């Protein structure tokens, strides 16, 4: 058994078969052949070598005729490498002695040769591995024939393990069969994290290198709550995770009837539970859980992985689908929250040493007005289809908000000139995710229609912790008293002015914090859709005076650990299940 | 003809070390001769007849390689091999086999 600690980015735990994706596509999983099939499989390998050799020789002749023998030498070398007697002996031994499938045996042996080069510091030497991969690919193509396409075509549930996943890789995966993700690199904002959360499957990122220890096909556990990946789990561990999965299933079944009941405390205080979504299809997850709306519709997916800037029509389609599906319930659309590096057709900033503190989100929008205006036009056009709200991310000064509103007013005028309908009274608000915005909340409330506390960034900026950095991630804590003070200031400012305030960070989705947040005065929680039933369950078990007492006591504490332990004890009083 | 045994140390001066073209040329020179040739780098030794095995020695620029040749034309083969480690390829050797 081998345990790897990474960063938990999408909750839940899952046991399943590993599928390794690397730069070459899917790694060939370890498969075995029957004892009596060994002779046939050896012949199959032999035929594949023969066919690959003929193919390489054709290439050699063609290149030689066109460019001369000197340029054809590389193919001659490939041919020699393919027919290397030691290599063949090694592959044949694995088939004969260990009963590996020829595909896996080839992949295994070739990778060992390639690793010799890949370990080298010098990049020109490391590149020699490419010649070996080239031969491997050729052999595999002959071994697999048409089945090669079939590997990408999943037919059974798998856990996808990769160094990193690109948007095109994840989009090529059949969603019905992917049950979890692990990537060696990446942090909470990575593409994998976003997709996993949207698919509601567990994911762990940033584990560091481990893929050389996995061939694919073996049993792996992904624990997206603890950020753990367990390779070759022992029976005891498997049994424990199976038990937990069973309990979770039972809890989910128990919570199902809550769908059509209001989120209301025992003493009748109404709470609104909304969903955070990234992709349009997630609106269905919100509806399934009985959400009161979409409290955060992230729009980054429209830009990520796109070849060019998305057109107004693409924006409009994505927004109208969600707005219409939610009927008259609110949909809060957040304008793009990205750095310049992730945006197509936006000039790279010259200084990008510290992207989190650099030109991104609303700052980038205000510097690239055409891109910003395209998005605003589409949102405004969708505003007549339902109950649309517009939210600006990472606002840190009043001036930024005023500027953004001016751009919005300008776009409105433009739409009016073209006789395009829109809702002139569309509510406009900001994310409170910088300490600056929280401390100025009493001023912001004079000008905005609503506030939404984005805890993920607020924690990062308040505590000066990058939660993608394993060395300091322990300092990242939603209930650090410094963070709680800023949250309290924001809620109080909104209450005094009588404007709505919600919370849309991960904190609001954890049942552990529900009592505290209710006690602090929060009545609107925007959470990942799968968290709605559990948060609702807590709401229905507690009464406001109890929550207020919890909040008051919490605010006297001086460190996050004490707060967390205290909250666990309190929640235990009302719930059998203590959330982590 | 009498059997001779040669052991010669060469320093690899080709700025790319022993690369795929070197390895191919080595196998050709050895293939034309009548001697058995091995290459040694530190404690690793391989027959000089297969490209993949030669490459797997991973010889970087500036490193030392020993040529071990046993056979009637051992000295000639070693003489023909030596310039290859300096990146000097005789195109006649490279293309000769297929001409």
Give B43-57 pLDDT, tens digit per residue.
889 999 999 999 999
Among B52, B60, B94, beta carbon nearest to A122: B60
pLDDT at residue A26 tops 70: no
Known catalytic residues of A are 191, 504
pLDDT at residue A436 tops 80: yes
DSSP sequence for A174-242: -TTTEEEEEESS--TTSHHHHHHHHHT--EEE---S-GGG--SSSEEEEETTTTEEEES--HHHHHHHH
Please tell me what DSSP assigns to residue A339.
B
pLDDT at residue B97 tops 50: no
pLDDT, mean of residues A171-179: 78
CATH topology of domain A2-26+152-248: Glucose Oxidase; domain 1 (3.50.30)
* pLDDT in the model for residue A168: 63
Residue B36 forms contact with A (CB below 8 Å): no
pLDDT at residue B76 tops 80: yes
Residue B4 forms contact with A (CB below 8 Å): no
**Nearest C-alpha in B relative to A110:** B52
Output phi, psi for B10, to 5 deg: -120, 145
Question: Domain extents for chain A?
Answer: 2-26+152-248, 35-148, 298-426
Write the CATH number of the domain with boundaries A35-148. Answer: 1.10.274.10
* pLDDT in the model for residue A10: 87
pLDDT at residue A438 tops 50: yes
Q: What is the pLDDT of residues A289-334, one digit of tens each?
A: 999 999 999 998 888 766 778 999 999 999 999 999 999 999 999 9
Residue B56 forms contact with A (CB below 8 Å): yes
Q: How big is the A-B interface in CB pairs under 8 Å?
A: 58
* pLDDT in the model for residue B63: 92
pLDDT at residue A503 tops 80: yes
Closest Cα in chain B, distance from residue A151 (Å): 29
* pLDDT in the model for residue A117: 78
Confidence band (pLDDT; 50, 70, 90) for B96? Answer: very low
Question: How big, in percent rounded to 5, are the helix, strand and coil portions of chain A?
Answer: 55, 15, 30
Residue B55 forms contact with A (CB below 8 Å): yes
pLDDT at residue B88 tops 90: no
| Measured CA distances, A230 to A10, A21, A226, A235, A470 (Å) | 16, 18, 11, 12, 18
Mapping DSSP to helix (H, G, I), strand (E, B) and coil, where does residue A519 land?
A: helix
* pLDDT in the model for residue A149: 44
Cβ atoms within 10 Å, residue A146: 7
CB contact under 8 A, B24 and A117: no
CB contact under 8 A, B98 and A128: no
CB contact under 8 A, B24 and A125: no
Strand-pair category, A272-277 with A294-297: parallel
Name every chain B residue with its beta carbon within 8 A of the beta carbon of A80: 24, 27, 50-52
Among A69, A85, A113, beta carbon nearest to B95: A69
CB contact under 8 A, B20 and A131: yes
Residue of A49, A76, A106 for testing the chain B interface, max B β-carbons within 10 Å: A76
Q: What is the pLDDT of residues A195-234, one digit of tens each?
A: 888 788 899 999 988 887 787 778 999 999 899 999 989 9
CB contact under 8 A, A81 and B95: no
pLDDT at residue B98 tops 50: no
What burial class does residue A286 get, using C-beta atoms within 10 Å of its C-beta: 0-12 exposed, 13-18 middle, 19+ buried?
A: buried
* pLDDT in the model for residue B99: 31
**Nearest C-alpha in A relative to B15:** A124
pLDDT, mean of residues A529-545: 94
Cβ atoms within 10 Å, residue A463: 18
* pLDDT in the model for residue A580: 46
Closest Cα in chain A, distance from residue B55 (Å): 9
**Nearest C-alpha in B relative to A69:** B95
Q: What is the pLDDT of residues A143-173, one digit of tens each?
A: 876 554 444 567 778 899 988 887 667 766 7
- CA dist A223 and A237 (Å) reads 12
Order of all β-strands in the sheet with B44-47? B4-11, B64-71, B36-41, B44-47
Q: Which domains does chain B have, with CATH numbers?
A: 4-88 (3.30.1340.10)
Name every chain B residue with its beta carbon within 8 A of the beta carbon of A125: 17, 58, 60
Strand-pair category, B4-11 with A524-527: unpaired
Higher-confidence position of A72 and A328: A328
Name every chain B residue with its beta carbon within 8 A of the beta carbon of A85: 50
- CA dist A521 and A501 (Å) reads 10
Closest Cα in chain B, distance from residue A30 (Å): 24
CATH topology of domain A298-426: TIM Barrel (3.20.20)
Q: What is the pLDDT of residues A383-422, one digit of tens each?
A: 999 999 999 999 999 999 999 999 999 999 999 999 999 9
Name every chain A residue with its beta carbon within 8 A of the beta carbon of B19: 128
* pLDDT in the model for residue B91: 54
Strand blocks (E) in A87-169: 158-162
The residue whose two tokens read 């041919």 is A79
CB contact under 8 A, B16 and A84: no
pLDDT, mean of residues A552-564: 96
Q: What is the pLDDT of residues A229-267, one digit of tens each?
A: 999 899 999 999 999 989 888 888 888 888 889 999 999
Cβ atoms within 10 Å, residue A266: 13
């Amino acid at each position: 058994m081998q345990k790897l600690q990474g960063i938990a980015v999408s909750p839940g735990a899952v046991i399943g078969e590993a599928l390794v994706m690397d730069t070459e596509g899917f790694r060939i999983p370890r498969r075995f052949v029957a004892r009596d099939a060994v002779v046939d499989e050896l012949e199959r390998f032999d035929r594949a070598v023969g066919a690959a050799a003929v193919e390489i020789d054709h290439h050699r002749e063609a290149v030689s005729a066109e460019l001369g023998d000197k340029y054809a030498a590389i193919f001659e070398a490939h041919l020699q490498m393919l027919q290397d007697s030691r290599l063949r002996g090694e592959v044949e031994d694995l088939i004969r002695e260990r009963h590996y499938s020829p595909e896996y045996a080839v992949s295994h042996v070739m990778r060992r040769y390639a690793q010799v080069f890949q370990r080298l510091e010098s990049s020109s030497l490391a590149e020699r591995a490419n010649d070996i991969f080239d031969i491997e690919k050729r052999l595999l193509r002959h071994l697999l024939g048409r089945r090669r396409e079939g590997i990408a075509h999943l037919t059974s549930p798998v856990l996808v393990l990769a160094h990193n996943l690109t948007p095109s890789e994840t989009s090529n995966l059949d969603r019905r069969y992917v049950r979890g993700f692990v990537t060696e690199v990446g942090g909470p904002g990575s593409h994998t994290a976003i997709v996993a959360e949207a698919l509601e499957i567990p994911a762990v990122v940033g584990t560091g290198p481990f893929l050389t220890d996995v061939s694919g096909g073996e049993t792996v556990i992904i624990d997206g709550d603890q950020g753990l990946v367990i390779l070759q789990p022992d029976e005891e561990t498997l049994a424990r995770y199976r038990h937990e999965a069973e309990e979770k299933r039972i809890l989910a079944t128990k919570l199902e009837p809550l769908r059509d009941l209001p989120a209301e405390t025992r003493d009748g205080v109404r709470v609104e539970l909304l969903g955070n979504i990234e992709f349009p299809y997630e609106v269905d997850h919100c509806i399934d859980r009985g959400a009161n709306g979409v409290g955060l519709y992230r729009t980054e997916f429209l830009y990520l992985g796109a070849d060019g800037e998305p057109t107004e029509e693409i924006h409009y389609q994505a927004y109208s689908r969600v707005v219409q599906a939610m009927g008259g319930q609110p949909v809060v659309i957040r304008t793009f929250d990205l750095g310049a590096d992730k945006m197509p057709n936006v000039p790279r900033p010259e200084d990008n040493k510290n992207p989190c503190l650099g030109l991104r989100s609303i700052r980038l929008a205000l510097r690239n007005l055409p891109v910003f205006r395209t998005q605003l036009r589409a949102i405004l056009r969708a505003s007549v289809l339902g109950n649309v709200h517009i939210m600006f991310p990472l606002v840190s000064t009043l001036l930024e908000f005023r500027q953004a509103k001016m751009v919005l007013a300008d776009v409105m005028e433009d739409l009016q000139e073209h006789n395009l309908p829109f809702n002139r009274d569309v509510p406009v608000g900001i994310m409170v995710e910088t300490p600056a915005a929280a401390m100025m909340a009493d001023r912001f409330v004079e000008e905005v229609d609503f506030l939404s506390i984005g805890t993920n960034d607020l924690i990062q900026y308040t505590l000066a912790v990058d939660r993608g950095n394993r060395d300091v991630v322990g300092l990242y804590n939603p209930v650090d008293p410094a963070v709680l003070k800023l949250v309290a200031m924001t809620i109080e400012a909104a209450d005094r002015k009588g404007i709505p305030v919600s919370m849309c960070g991960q904190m609001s989705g954890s049942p552990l914090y529900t009592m505290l947040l209710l006690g602090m005065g929060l009545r609107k929680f925007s959470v990942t859709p799968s968290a709605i039933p559990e948060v609702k369950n807590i709401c229905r078990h507690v009464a406001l005076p109890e929550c207020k007492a919890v909040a008051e006591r919490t605010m006297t504490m001086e460190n996050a650990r004490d707060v967390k332990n205290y909250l666990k004890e309190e929640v235990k009083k009302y719930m059998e299940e203590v959330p982590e | 003809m009498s059997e001779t045994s040669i052991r010669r140390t060469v320093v690899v001066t080709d700025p790319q070390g022993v690369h795929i073209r070197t390895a191919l040329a080595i196998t050709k020179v050895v293939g034309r001769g009548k001697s058995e040739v091995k290459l040694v780098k530190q404690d690793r030794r391989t027959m000089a007849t297969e490209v993949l095995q030669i490459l797997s020695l991973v010889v970087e620029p500036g490193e030392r390689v020993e040529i071990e040749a046993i056979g009637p034309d051992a000295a000639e083969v070693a003489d023909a091999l030596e310039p290859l480690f300096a990146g000097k390829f005789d195109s006649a050797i490279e293309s000769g086999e297929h001409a």
